[in-house]
Amino acid sequence: MTEDDNLLLQLKDEEGLPWKAIAGKFRDMGRGEFRVPTLQMRYKRLKEKMRVWDIEDVCTHTPCSPPSLVTTLELS
């Protein structure tokens, strides 16, 4: 992650700042003129990348179990 990514996560998750304040901090620190929706989307994408998937998350529509030897042989 970049320094800006870490700063964004710190300001939102640890300090709990509102989006307008975060945009102001980036501007005041010389990090750029970011609009609130831009920061929100970046935050959303960062959180998605950091997500840890459980087996239940992956197997929502079909049963998830390791293929058995019988199933493997039937497919061959």
pLDDT tens, N- to C-terminus, the chain (76 residues)? 899 999 999 999 999 999 999 999 999 999 999 999 999 999 999 999 998 877 776 776 566 655 555 544 555 4
Maximum CA extent, the chain: 64
**Angle, CA 60 vertex, CA 54 and CA 61 arms, to 5°:** 155
pTM of the model: 0.69
